[in-house]
């Protein structure tokens, strides 16, 4: 009987590939979850073994043999493989691409897993004479030794690297002298710190509700105002789960939120912590992934992709800022980490807590219909109170660098009292467009239906959609005139204006441009938290989830940009952003004030948020969605097509509409095809086809027949097409 290996490969094919075992070689016992190196076309690829069987639909003389078995033991157990295969099925994405995307980069390429790396440094010799010699002859080694001694003789490698830059050579020298040792911790050497404050009653009730459900699946919506202590609820719940001998998965939407969380988790929770996000090197992420998969890490903290990582004995899943659109992957394998966290918890038989001050309408609807247990934190923790929000009508105001006189006065008063002010503008760069006053030329991107943004410090025009860039011109490319001027304002220009206005007050700018180098974000956030900067300027990277106790004033320079978006979710996103940004004010000893500049002070969204609250907005928004039969009151799938010519993409989608009719599905609503809101992007013309149904299972059944048939359409090979289940952006 011939052994057939069914293997998932990273290829745009929805099924598995059949291979024969390795020829004439002693190999490890074959088990699902092992990586195999196989011939694929004229090259080799790394795949994952899914099944060992004795039958195939392909003639055996056409089957090729596996080249090598790369792992003695599976990297993923059968339970995790089943979870990832379910995810691939729900999103109708090729299973091989899903499984391989769940692996660290080196492991996808067939490399051997890294050996365990030390994560703790311990002092072996703290003799005063030794330290005195080091202080004279090797001051940097002495600094490390002195720091370790001040911490009781040991510290995590993470803390060490945050304290000292480029410390590898110093550690090697100290090791060679027998003064320190590096090891891999399997448990936390220092006892976890216990908080010295009392929880609010609402926090205690939330913890009790989730604690009562430990050991079985249950979904909880932790709906807490900004500053209400949601993170403390997470920590107390995690402590209970770890005490039970189980592990915890904590998801955050942004890399920027991980530094402060890492510090709190390491101080409060026992056992090693694995951190998974794109800001770490490939080797760091692989080490963390391996710690998680082997059960060495008791807590896994990560952004979106962490929901795909293996973690045995899962006892609790936490999703912070569950409303954030960053949880949805927008390219390639388009999954929602928030939604998959719910699936992960259900399959593991454990609770999942979704936390937010501005819950998504999807989660609110589930809570209202009792699918989730609704836990509310209505008050800020401690003595802090909700900030006062005020609209500044700038229609008849003379602006100075985009700032109105009342806003400048409020900034002056705040800074003169020694308090911090945050100035928010969700637009990076110096200005969104460059124009010629002589002929009207605009800095259009040659590859997109968009403008190139002015970046003065880099002396470049850069498209924020496709990355196309060119040197900043001195004369108009069209008419040769020197009358080139920026239009509009970005954070780079805002930084310049505020530095000129308040030269005696230190300022930090936090956006993607200012934090492009490794470690820069941590340093800037640390300056802000410690009060070493009076003025904080930035985009939503600065606003999301951060705790700046010294900030008493938050100024939003332009809240109008999100009021009139084409996407039906635009109002929801704008409301969430305003409340989240406003929530940075008044979290410490001083009362908070929020000023919002607008030319539309009577807009219903702004009036509702200022005079009522986010809950009032959400109730009205849900009512409107129900009337229009839009999500979360229905379910959508977006088929995207792009091609070098607009008519090619549209023709393919028109063929898709014909296919729907041929399949005889009359309950699915079909919208389009239509050009994408930004039709041309990165040199390609894009079109959309939107499918909608009030029945999720019916839509999934239809997709099971429809998606495989798309590749058989006449123009399928002339376009690049993709499937987006539960789309969050219709751009």
Q: Which residues are annotated as a binding site for Zn(2+)?
A: 436, 439, 445, 448, 463, 466, 476, 479
Q: Measure CA 440 to chain center.
A: 39
Residue 196 Cα to chain centre, angstroms: 32
Query: How far is residue 337's CA from residue 348's CA, in Å, rounded to a whole number?
Result: 16
Lateral strand order in the sheet of 154-156: 154-156, 120-123, 180-183
| Pick from 595, 600, 610: nearest CA to 405 | 595
Q: Which two tokens stand for residue 10?
A: 């990273």
Q: Are 248 and 315 in contact (CB under 8 A)?
A: yes
Q: How many CB atoms lie within 10 A of CB 564?
A: 11
Sheet of 535-538: strand order equals 388-393, 593-598, 551-556, 420-424, 535-538, 507-510
Residues with Cβ within 8 Å of residue 524, at least 6 apart in sequence = 508, 509, 510, 514, 515
Asked if 219 and 316 touch (Cβ cutoff 8 Å), the reply is no
DSSP string, 359-391: --HHHHHHHHTTSSEEEEE-S-STT--PPEEEE
Known binding-site residues equal 436, 439, 445, 448, 463, 466, 476, 479
**Sequence-distant (≥ 6) Cβ neighbours of residue 595 within 8 angstroms:** 390, 392, 406, 407, 410, 553, 554, 555, 556
Tell me the HSE value of 25 on the side-chain side, using a 13 A CA sphere.
11
What is the 3 state secondary structure string of 339-359?
Answer: HHHHHHHHHHCCEEEEEECCC
Task: Give the Cα separation of 623 and 633 in Å (integer).
Answer: 10
CB count within 10 Å of CB 612 equals 12
Phi and psi, residue 496, nearest 5°: -60, -45
User: Residue 195 and residue 323: Cα distance in Å, rounded?
Assistant: 28
Question: Other C-beta atoms within 10 Å of 218: how many?
Answer: 19
Contact indicator for 620, 415 with CB cutoff of 8 Å: no
User: How far is 246 from 244, CA to CA, in rounded Å?
Assistant: 6
Please state, in angstroms and rounded to a whole number, the distance separating the CA atoms of residues 624 and 630. 9
In order of 115, 188, 519, 716, the CA distances from 267 in angstroms are 26, 10, 21, 54
Give the DSSP H/E element, type plus range, for residue 44: strand 43-53
């Amino acid at each position: 009987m011939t052994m057939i290996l069914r293997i998932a490969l990273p290829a745009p094919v929805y099924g598995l590939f059949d291979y024969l075992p390795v020829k004439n070689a002693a190999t490890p016992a074959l088990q699902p979850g092992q990586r195999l190196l196989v011939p694929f076309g004229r090259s080799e690829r790394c795949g994952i073994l899914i099944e060992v069987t004795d039958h195939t639909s392909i003639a055996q003389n056409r089957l090729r043999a596996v080249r090598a078995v790369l792992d003695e033991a599976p990297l993923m157990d059968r339970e995790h493989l089943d979870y990832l295969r379910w995810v691939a099925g729900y999103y109708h994405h090729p299973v091989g691409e899903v499984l391989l995307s769940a692996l660290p980069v080196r492991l996808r390429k067939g490399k051997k897993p890294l050996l365990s790396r030390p994560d703790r440094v311990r002092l072996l010799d703290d003799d005063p004479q030794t330290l005195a010699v080091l202080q004279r002859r090797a001051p940097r080694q002495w600094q490390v030794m002195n720091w370790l001694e001040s911490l009781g003789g040991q510290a995590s490698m993470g803390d060490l690297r945050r304290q000292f830059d480029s410390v590898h050579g110093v550690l090697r020298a100290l090791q060679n002298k027998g003064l320190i040792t590096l090891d891999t911790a399997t448990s936390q050497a220092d006892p976890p710190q216990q908080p010295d404050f009392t929880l609010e009653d609402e926090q205690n009730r939330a913890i009790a509700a989730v604690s009562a459900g430990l050991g079985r699946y249950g979904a909880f919506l932790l709906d807490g105002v900004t500053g209400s202590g949601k993170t403390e609820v997470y920590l107390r719940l995690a402590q209970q789960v770890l005490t039970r001998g189980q592990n915890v998965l904590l998801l955050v939407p942004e890399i920027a939120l991980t530094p402060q969380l890492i510090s709190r988790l390491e101080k409060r929770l026992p056992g090693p912590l694995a951190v998974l996000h794109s800001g770490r090197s490939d080797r760091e992420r692989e080490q963390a992934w391996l710690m998680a998969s082997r059960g060495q890490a008791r807590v896994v903290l990560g952004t979106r992709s962490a929901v795909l990582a293996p973690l045995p004995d899962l006892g609790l899943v936490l999703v912070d800022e569950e409303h954030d659109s960053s949880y949805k992957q927008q390219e390639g394998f388009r999954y929602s980490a928030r939604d998959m966290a719910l699936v992960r918890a259900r399959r593991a038989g454990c609770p999942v807590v979704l936390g937010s001050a501005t819950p998504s309408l999807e989660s609110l609807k589930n809570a209202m219909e009792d699918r989730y247990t609704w836990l509310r934190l209505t008050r800020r923790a401690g003595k802090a109170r909700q900030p006062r929000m005020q609209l500044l009508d700038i229609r008849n105001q003379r602006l100075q660098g985009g700032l109105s006189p009342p806003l400048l006065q409020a900034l002056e008063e705040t800074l003169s009292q020694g308090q911090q002010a945050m100035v928010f503008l969700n637009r990076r760069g110096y200005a969104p467009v460059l124009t010629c006053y002589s002929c009207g030329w605009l800095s259009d991107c040659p590859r997109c239906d968009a403008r190139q943004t002015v970046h003065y410090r880099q002396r470049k025009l850069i498209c924020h959609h496709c990355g196309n860039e060119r040197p900043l011109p001195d004369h108009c490319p069209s008419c040769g005139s020197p009358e080139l001027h920026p239009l509009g304002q970005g954070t780079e220009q805002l930084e310049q204006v505020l530095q000129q206005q308040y030269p005696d007050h230190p300022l930090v700018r936090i956006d993607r441009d200012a934090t492009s180098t490794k470690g820069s974000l941590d340093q800037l956030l640390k300056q802000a938290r410690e009060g070493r900067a009076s003025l904080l300027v930035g985009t939503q990277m600065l606003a999301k989830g951060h705790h700046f106790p010294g900030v008493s004033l938050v100024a939003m320079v332009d809240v109008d940009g999100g009021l009139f978006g084409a996407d039906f979710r635009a109002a929801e996103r704008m409301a969430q952003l305003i409340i989240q940004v406003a929530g940075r004010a008044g979290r410490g000893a001083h009362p908070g004030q929020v000023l919002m500049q607008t030319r539309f002070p009577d807009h219903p969204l702004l009036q509702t948020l200022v005079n009522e609250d986010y809950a009032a907005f959400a109730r009205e928004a849900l009512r409107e969605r129900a009337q229009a039969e839009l999500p979360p009151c229905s379910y959508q799938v977006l088929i995207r097509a792009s091609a070098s010519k607009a008519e090619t993409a549209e023709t393919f989608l028109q063929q898709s509409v014909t296919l729907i009719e041929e399949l005889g599905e009359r309950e699915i609503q079909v919208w389009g095809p239509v050009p994408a809101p930004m039709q041309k992007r990165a040199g390609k013309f894009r079109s959309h086809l939107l499918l909608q149904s009030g029945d999720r299972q019916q839509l999934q059944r239809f997709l099971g027949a429809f998606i495989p048939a798309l590749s058989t359409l006449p123009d399928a090979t002339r376009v690049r097409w993709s499937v987006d289940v539960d789309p969050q952006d219709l751009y």
